[in-house]
Amino acid sequence: MHGQPKLPGSSDWPRHSGLLCHITSLPGPSGCGDLGPEAYRFLHQLARGGQRAWQVLPIGPTGFGDSPYQTASVLGGNPLFVSIDQLVADGLLSAEVLRSAPVESAEADFAAAQAYKWPLLLRAFDRLRTDESPTLEPLRRDLAAFSSQQHTWLDDYALFMAIKEEQALRPWIEWPTPLRDRDPSALSEARGRLAARLDLHRFVQWLFERQWRALRHAATTLGIELIGDVPIFVAHDSVEVWSSRSQFLLHPDGQLKVQAGVPPDYFSKTGQLWGNPLYDWAAMQADGFAFWRQRIQRAASLFDRVRIDHFRGFAAHWEIPAADRTAEFGRWVEAPGQALFEVLTSHPDTRQVRFIAEDLGVITPDVELLRDRFAFPGIRVLQFGFGDDDFYDGRPWAFRKNLVAYTSTHDNSTIMGWYRGEPEGTRTEGQSRRERDKVNDYLGHVPSPDYAHFSLIRLVMGSAAETVIIPVQDVLGLGNEARMNTPGQPQGNWRFRLRSGQLDDRSLDHLRHLSQLYARVSR
């Protein structure tokens, strides 16, 4: 006898959908979104809209350019995500500090967030250290436990950030040679000299962890999974490269031997030059991929599913000479992706991880073989599906079940920006018109301008793909003024923010209707 099938909306029902919205894109004061009240409000909006997943971008501490894909650590959390409201609730700050918060900005204002939050984080740190009130004792014990449990990455992170502050935020390759090269006596001296700042950075990471876990618990209670994003490459100016130089292709002084990027493509005639160091895969394989096991284990402790960005780089990556200023003259170099994922899917610390393979870009048969060998769901983006190839598997009729389908992504036009033909990459006005005509033919009608975005969302919702992710901009029908990132454009990215009340009940109710109609949530 077969048991009764699980109802749509239960945790075992595979068909579901969710929204893509980075933490910084949430509304509210403080300069940018954080883990405070608006994050919980967004969870309840997801639930109202019948959504069972929330995807975010990488959550590490950002630096110049504010890109979540270039972080000072791939294991730490962004201090700007720490909610000041929660510090007030915990008794670490007085309520009066909330009155000095920056007014809600139309775009993420990272400088304003830094200026507002860091003095308050320091004040909360001093309060926990000096106030002997018994009510704060549980927090002190929790901080001590976190510092002990996470010391394998946290100690190096705190030391890196403290030295970086002392060195006027210069990249580590420009530090004095003993610090740059991690001379044991120089590091020991720095730990003593900067002890208070080390403790501050541990404290801030504990705050992030504490608030993140509370948010994840709330999401789980509502039946919503959190999907995280793990970039394949690591920023050159990061604690992981500084502390694990043998894992990367670097010169003895820390300078790049080669750098990462992608060849000329739809977005850029000269390719994309990322500037990340490339891995010394032989060294990684020799120690059982310990670096990657730590990364994935950490991601699994924070998220329910893990999206691996630029998955094709695990089959072969584009290697560019370090001195080049464009990505045109690189070469493809094979990577040991099969050996890596055999370890990750079998090791006790990581074998439970549910991966999503971001298999966009120049995808060759070896990439597909690697993805399918481990049964990882790939990704398809609706707006890529209406080109000249009528049999491309990116058309909605061709979506596989084991797939995550998107209307658009953070790197592309919004779905309405694309549909209306707003400027995008090398796409011509004629291409735009032909693609729009194909979409209308596929729909069987020309959608009303006010509801065209929901007509397009309907295409992915009704597909066979078990998971559908919709950027929040697409739910609202916004154009490219709300785009999150333009690859190859160094400034002006990552600034999109929702306004308070913008994600309204009408949009959520329409989204829930589509989720129910296509069995992605129960009625």
- Catalytic site includes residue 96: no
Which residue in 337, 324, 311 sits closest to 274, CA to CA?
324
| Helix then strand then coil, % of the chain, to nearest 5 | 45, 10, 45
CA dist 469 → 52, 299, 372 (Å) = 10, 20, 21
Which residue in 455, 466, 471 sits closest to 514, CA to CA?
455
CA distance 61 to 73: 6
CA distance 253 to 235: 16
**Which alpha helices (DSSP H) does 195-354 contain, by range?**
195-221, 239-243, 281-286, 290-302, 337-344
The answer to whether 80 and 25 have CB atoms below 8 angstroms apart is: no
Among 66, 166, 181, 411, the active-site one is 411
Sheet with 331-334, strands from edge to edge, namely: 272-277, 258-262, 316-321, 331-334
CB environment 43-56: b (16+ within 10 A), e (fewer): bebbbebbbbbbbb
Beta bridge partners of 379: 404
- Catalytic site includes residue 504: no
CA distance 489 to 67: 11
CA distance 354 to 149: 24
Which residue in 98, 50, 60, 160 sits closest to 508, CA to CA?
50
Among 38, 240, 358, 424, the active-site one is 358
The tokens describing 292, both together, are 């990657």
CA dist 213 → 216, 229, 388, 479 (Å) = 5, 17, 46, 34
Phi, psi of 257 (to 5 degrees): -85, -45
Among 90, 309, 359, 474, the active-site one is 309
- Catalytic site includes residue 358: yes
The tokens describing 139, both together, are 């927090």
CA distance 121 to 84: 8
Catalytic sites, residue numbers:
309, 358, 411
